Structure 1
Amino acid sequence: MLKRMQISARGLVQGVGFRPFIYNLATKFSLAGFVQNDTNGVFIDVEGRNESIKEFLDHLIKSPPPHVIIEDIRYRSFPPRGYKEFVIEESAIKEGDTTIVSADISICQDCFNEIHNPTDRRYRYPFINCTNCGPRFTIIKDTPYDRANTTMSSFPMCPDCSKEYYDPQNRRFHAQPNACPVCGPQLTLYSSEGLKVHTRDPLSTVCNLLKGGKIVAVKGVGGYHLACDAMNSTTVSLLRKRKNRDDKPLAVMMENIGTIRQFCHVNGKEEALLLSAQKPIVLLRKTSRCTLSPEVAPEHKYLGVMLPYTPLHYLLLKESGLSLVMTSGNMSDEPIVYNDSNAFARLKGIADYFLTHDREIFIRCDDSVVRVNEDKETIIRRSRGYAPFPLRLQYTFTRPTLACGAFLKNTFCLARRNHAFLSHHIGDLENTETLNSFELSIEHYKELFSIEPEIVAYDLHPEYLSTKYALTQNDKILKIGIQHHHAHIVSCMAENGINNKVIGVAFDGLGYGDDGNFWGGEFLVADFSGYDRAGHLDYVPMPGGEQAIKEPWRMAVSYLYQIYGDNIPLIPHTSPLLSAEKTDGELNRAKIEILLKMLLHRINSPLTSSMGRLFDGVASILGLHHSVSYEGQAAIKLELIADEYETGSYPFDIDVIAGARCNMPLHIVHWGQIIKHIVNDLKSKTANSVISAKFHNTIANMTLQVCTILRNSLGLNDVVLSGGVFQNNFLSSRLIRKLSSNDFKVYFPQKIPCNDGGISLGQAVIASERCRICA
């Protein structure tokens, strides 16, 4: 007996070979009907024998293609219509539906084999792809995902490609970016002056240029990289000078896992991440025999390493025989360049040559960065390969919501129903170029996912450009300010599906507090709708305001002044800042005297409870860094020198005072004892590595003690850790083990960054929940 069924599949079902899979599956079971993309996902109308439809549905649910993620599937029976065959129909457009768009997918093994096969018509073709791999998000202009809605629309397929496209047995069946050397995008090489370099083989020419020590701007899938030989210290130093990137580590792309193992330690989890379809940059510990230029990651134990994820990258590494620095194509603090004309204008002073192509990048997308912590993937930057795939939450948003994120490492979040579309990495919102990228990306996401926000959430800091953007939105949109650290905690809660009250530990650099001070060493009792501040690091002045972030010696002086007053100890042969030697002691003493006056009269010295600033101050007291060239540099150095075998710690004090609410006392953690004992250790010539470890252990002990006090008084056992300080593996791994061994249930961000790159998710959830309560 014939039966007919209509099936609607939601999730990641477009751009991942799902329709060809459905076609072949229906053909296998002798079913008739059709499949089509719509703005809701994929719609299937199928009829045939009842048993065949059951088997079809069973295979569809249990054995989809590798990159398909079915989040929801619904089906209903209807009377048969008498379909004669099964076909793929044109896509249907329905207003108001949300389609999930695939992230860009790294080259698959089949395509890899073809580009290395001299007999294949795509041999050495740098834009090879199929239904299982290739560009997706960065070329999509609109949904549904059809060639006409991508930047491949300007490349009509040749007869051979067209034959593949319409052949149900071919893996390029309905592969939207399908192309070959005859009909597809082509490489072109230019000089730094923008003059075309005439060569029959741009790829081979570029490989020779890289081997000759040149810096080449390479157009990839989501923007330009600046590439050079990672073994050539002269070239890497020149790249740093031109890019104005003094010390921050540079990412390296290596040909295969075997090459990576020559330079780095790789465990099983790290290898799986390197080989994944996302192909992120993975932070790996260097081996003692690492022979890459020390200029790649100066004074650093770790390297950011990725495998090639496009055919162009594979060919460059294979044919040059090099491991390549692959750093974002931009000047420091600007977003990655993706537009060709903009690339020549902005990178001509950095790159010697430009290897570009004529496939338009519709939206920029920087590389993702991850590391393994306690054998789990921890995302530091969520971008290429991950975005724009949404987080499917257990929470349902009351109304469509836009959350604008923070200032540093900005992302925004568009949310509807139980989907949170966390954007790709935007960057630090400190210049016009990045702000434009932020605004254009929001508009693109709104159109792509058919979400028109009715709520906009923003950080309380009045000077953040993301806050100013939110406050200029349409008056009909409800605007809700969200406290920075509450958003940190809720982002992790939402990821982990918890909405009971928790002990939230938020340690970061700075966040605007309810009292007008800069918070950052916070213990919150929180749920989605609100929080109480249950504890924090004792306040300290931040002389010079934000200048103290760039010059940690200011924080060092401030901490020491609170303890010793004007008699700041002069510690010979340790820190140039605190050195009593004549050579630069007088100059530094003069600087200190100015700062002491600022502190005495509270001139431009806002108060902060920031854990990040405490790390900076300690790093400077130890003489590690008195000024920094990138965010977190001093704290990172403090982590890297820590002796992993040291178990000692320092004493600390906790005072309990009345809190803002009568039923919630406030626990003030005093750092004075910590600083005093560090100074004493320096005077007794204790090694910096030991002092650093003892300091880290102290922070872990202090956090455990405050959490234990709160558990005993409030009966709470769930602890949520979030904030940029927890990117510190030495601290976070020890703290998680301490809390777990004391029977706390510990939650830590994994799918989103613990830094400000994940904060927009928390903003969106809090704003939605407040609307629910007020409704």
Structure 2
Amino acid sequence: MKDICRKYVVVTGIVQGVGFRPFVYNTAMDNELKGWVKNTSEGVYIDLEGTPNSIELFLHTLRNEAPPLSKINNIAIEHREVRNYKEFSIEKSDDNDRVITLISPDVATCKECEMEIMNSKDKRFHYPFTNCTNCGPRFSIIKKLPYDRPMTTMEKFNMCPHCNEEYENPRDRRFHAQPNACESCGPRVYLTDRYGNEITTQDPIEETKNLIKEGKIIAIKGLGGLHIACDGKNEGTIKLLRERKSRPSKPFALMMKDIDTVKQYCLVNEIEENTLKGIKRPILLLDVKDNILPFTIAPNNNRLGVMLPYTPLHHLLFDDNIDVLVMTSANVSGLPIVYKNEEAVEKLGDIVDCFLLNNRDIHVPIDDSVARVILGEERIIRRSRGYAPMPIKITDIKETLAYGSHLKNAFCISKEQFAFLSQHMGDMDNLEAYKNYEYNVKHFKNLYNIKPEIIAYDMHPDLLLSNFAKKDEGKKIPVQHHHAHLVSCMIENKINEKVIGIAFDGTGFGTDGKIWGGEFLVCNYEGFERAGHLNYVKMPGGDSAVKEPWKMALGYLFKTYRDEVNTSIFTSIPEKNIKIILTMLRSNINSIETSSMGRFFDAISALINLKMKVSFEGEAAINLEAICDERESGIYNYEINFVNETYVVNTDNIIKSIVEDIAKNINKSIIAKRFHNTVIAFTLEMTKLIRSKHKINSVALSGGVFQNEILLKRLYEKLIENNFKVYIHKDIPCNDGGISIGQLVIANYKEKNMEE
């Protein structure tokens, strides 16, 4: 008789809802092992009996060939007394809230499922909810753990005998695929008019396609919410959508039929192609190949936001006559994404002509992610579907809730060594946005059984979220905005040392009560010293200067020229409006000072008469980057002063030089590029001065301004050339969508110092 031994194995990580148990079962059967496998809230437990060699082969396969959607964090193995199991079985899941279990994000349709929906002989031909253990909804349908069908929004759909047979068969691709269904037992799609009345039709998807071809605007319920869709080649319909949605110029996302279609309209390198075709399927910002598609998709922008189909329904919307769709998030401006059927009809009826809805509920709304490939790597701009709720591992932290930012919000909540950065929540401008935020925070708390001891929030005294945070239960710790930005970059890059942190963004409340945003901080997790910054400029009208960059431009002109301001540059602004703003500047009325790099970019955009008013955040700066003449290498004069032990960039000479270029009728594209070159030049010089003073060689770059490819790429290269060690963002957004994890870590370090 062969020697038999027993090993008890605990696998932690993302091991539920990803085909892990059938993988274990089949591997055990292939190696003639006995015992069992089951899901628990801690992870997957495996009890094995067999020859030492067979168990060793099993463990080798476990470590090296796990399912593609799984992510193993740890494998713990114990030797136990032999029990003489007779077979290998899959046991019922345990509900145990003592330990945390990780959840897979929603993932794109796999190739096998895609082939099935296109095969007229297959049971799931044209079935829009086809999925298996390798693909489909996860995070958006989970109500609680462990991840079993009764804990999801699929609970109400009873599987037919055929689907149940697949579900129960460990050798089947759909074994314990919790959303498993087919046309006879699963969710269904249906078409309604704009008032929610169902339209009788044999094939709602085909009818939707016909309506799109006729130039209609359709709201389509997808994986994490609704999209508003129309023909991406119909300029008239796109203009109408802009009017109905009150969205004059913010770019629309596009969904294209396949990668070959994308290559017709955009420049696509190998990394971009892999990102587009991967399981996460973000909206990827791509350089436009030519101007075949309507200008109204992305006015004054040389990039398009493109994604490939990521659900069976999406695949079925395309045919020989539809290969490009506008696919924009369905929400009223400033409000969260719509994800419930009744809410959709109520809020979107004035925007769309029809609704393509379904009866599978979305438990957690989740927007599309946005990414960009810069310096040869995918970098996330908006972290949501496909990425959330994948955690970031951090040691030695307490259960903490970090509220995040006012704009582009994502909160961060932690348990044990895991920090969960939420999906994109949007801007916190109103109570409805906060209610959506609150719903999602509650879901994360319940899902992972988290009771935060620490509450971290932005130190700005007037933010909606900060005021709510102060009323929360737990130790309240305010965190400076730019410090949080930089620590988020440090955490991502796994460094815990002092760095020169360069934080360039639009707005952040400073420790001196002014608005920061062009900052050079010497910092670590515990604290920071402000080593340098952009000079202060008055921001006339406060927040109104963000929406009307000409006011910011006037602020810069006033700082540079005082009473000798030449206002003839502003040809499109009424003289009386200019006089009002000048009076405010002279009298210091409603003119808070700012060192913001974002506002500096806005000012230059308005100064060259590119963008006087904006309809979305960052529009002026985006347009400024878009027109840059890449061949131009000129740099404007600038000054760096040393004031009170701090380096300050004096912008006066830059403004004077730009005004002179305007007077000489120098092309805007040349001025724009010279400005970018100048920012790169003075940032490099500032960093070298701070290195010399503080003896620090590591640099972290963070803040929304670093979404600018010219700035990030050239500055990174210049810093490397000058022997700096440079850390930048990749998996955590550099914009405000990433600061909550910085808040969380800083608050934990501050709390430790309080205890000591």
TM bin (shorter chain) = over 0.9
For 1:277-426, what aligned pairs fall within 5 Å after superposition? 277-288=279-290, 290-318=291-319, 321-392=322-393, 395-426=394-425
Listed one character per residue, the Cα deviations across residues 379-398 of structure 1 (whole Å, up to 9, x for unaligned) are 00000000011112xx4133
Equivalenced residues, count: 753
Listed one character per residue, the Cα deviations across residues 261-304 of structure 1 (whole Å, up to 9, x for unaligned) are 1100000110010011000000001112x421111111110000
Kindly indicate whether residue 518 of structure 2 is the aligned counterpart of residue 518 of structure 1. no
Q: Distance in 2 between matches of 1:214 and 1:322?
A: 16
CA drift of 1:82 comes to 1.8
For 1:482-561, what aligned pairs fall within 5 Å after superposition? 482-561=479-558
* Equivalent position of 1:461 in the other structure: 460
For 1:224-239, what aligned pairs fall within 5 Å after superposition? 224-239=226-241
CA drift of 1:655 comes to 1.1
The TM-score, its normalising length taken from structure 2, stands at: 0.99
Q: Distance in 2 between matches of 1:322 and 1:112?
A: 17
* Equivalent position of 2:137 in the other structure: 135
* Equivalent position of 2:712 in the other structure: 732
Query: Does the 8 A contact of 1:208 with 1:320 survive in 2?
Result: no
Query: Does the 8 A contact of 2:231 with 2:322 survive in 1?
Result: no
**SS at 1:152's partner residue?**
coil
Q: Please, which of 735, 742, 747 is the counterpart of residue 727 of structure 2?
A: 747
* Equivalent position of 2:46 in the other structure: 44
Q: Distance in 2 between matches of 1:242 and 1:96?
A: 50
Listed one character per residue, the Cα deviations across residues 368-409 of structure 1 (whole Å, up to 9, x for unaligned) are 0000111111100000000011112xx413311110001000
**SS at 2:408's partner residue?**
coil
Identity %: 49
Query: Does the 8 A contact of 2:279 with 2:386 survive in 1?
Result: yes
Q: Distance in 2 between matches of 1:645 and 1:10?
A: 52
Q: Please, which of 635, 643, 650 is the counterpart of residue 636 of structure 2?
A: 650
* Equivalent position of 1:756 in the other structure: 736
* Equivalent position of 2:153 in the other structure: 151
Kindly indicate whether residue 605 of structure 2 is the aligned counterpart of residue 625 of structure 1. no
CA drift of 1:320 comes to 5.3
Kindly indicate whether residue 220 of structure 2 is the aligned counterpart of residue 240 of structure 1. no
CA drift of 1:319 comes to 6.7
Kindly indicate whether residue 744 of structure 2 is the aligned counterpart of residue 768 of structure 1. no
Task: Give the direction of change, closer, same or farther, for the CA distance of 1:98–1:320 in structure 2 (3 Å limit).
Answer: farther
Q: Distance in 2 between matches of 1:33 and 1:683?
A: 83
CA drift of 1:9 comes to 1.0
Q: Distance in 1 between matches of 2:300 and 2:536?
A: 32
Query: Does the 8 A contact of 2:6 with 2:80 survive in 1?
Result: yes
Letter in 1 for 2:416: R
Letter in 2 for 1:148: P
Q: Distance in 2 between matches of 1:21 and 1:466?
A: 44
**SS at 2:173's partner residue?**
coil
CA drift of 1:324 comes to 0.4
Listed one character per residue, the Cα deviations across residues 185-239 of structure 1 (whole Å, up to 9, x for unaligned) are 0011000011110011101100000000000000000000000001001100111
* Equivalent position of 2:172 in the other structure: 170
Letter in 2 for 1:588: P
Letter in 1 for 2:499: V
**SS at 1:515's partner residue?**
coil
Q: Distance in 2 between matches of 1:591 and 1:711?
A: 45
* Equivalent position of 2:581 in the other structure: 595
* Equivalent position of 1:104 in the other structure: 106
* Equivalent position of 2:76 in the other structure: 74
Letter in 2 for 1:517: K
Query: Does the 8 A contact of 1:41 with 1:99 survive in 2?
Result: yes
Query: Does the 8 A contact of 1:720 with 1:748 survive in 2?
Result: yes
CA drift of 1:34 comes to 1.2
Q: Distance in 2 between matches of 1:166 and 1:310?
A: 24
CA drift of 1:332 comes to 1.4
Query: Does the 8 A contact of 1:247 with 1:297 survive in 2?
Result: yes
**SS at 1:227's partner residue?**
strand
Kindly indicate whether residue 654 of structure 2 is the aligned counterpart of residue 674 of structure 1. yes
* Equivalent position of 1:661 in the other structure: none
* Equivalent position of 1:662 in the other structure: none
Q: Distance in 1 between matches of 2:52 and 2:369?
A: 46
Listed one character per residue, the Cα deviations across residues 413-454 of structure 1 (whole Å, up to 9, x for unaligned) are 011232110000000000122111100100101111222111
Listed one character per residue, the Cα deviations across residues 553-595 of structure 1 (whole Å, up to 9, x for unaligned) are 0001110011222332245xxx5x2x3xxxx6xx622211111
Q: Please, which of 252, 264, 267 is the counterpart of residue 265 of structure 1?
A: 267
CA drift of 1:742 comes to 0.6
Structure 2's unaligned 5+ residue stretches are: none
Let me know the Cα RMSD of the aligned residues.
Answer: 1.0
Q: Distance in 1 between matches of 2:261 and 2:409?
A: 33
Listed one character per residue, the Cα deviations across residues 308-353 of structure 1 (whole Å, up to 9, x for unaligned) are 0000000002375231000000111111100111111000011100
Query: Does the 8 A contact of 1:566 with 1:596 survive in 2?
Result: no
CA drift of 1:246 comes to 0.7
**SS at 2:419's partner residue?**
strand
Task: Give the direction of change, closer, same or farther, for the CA distance of 1:222–1:599 in structure 2 (3 Å limit).
Answer: same
Q: Distance in 2 between matches of 1:317 and 1:331?
A: 26
* Equivalent position of 2:428 in the other structure: 429
Shifted more, 27-36 versus 182-191: the winner is: 27-36
Deviation beyond 4 Å, 4+ runs, structure 1: none
Listed one character per residue, the Cα deviations across residues 448-501 of structure 1 (whole Å, up to 9, x for unaligned) are 122211101000112222211211112xx1110000000000000000000100
Query: Does the 8 A contact of 1:165 with 1:174 survive in 2?
Result: yes
* Equivalent position of 1:638 in the other structure: 624
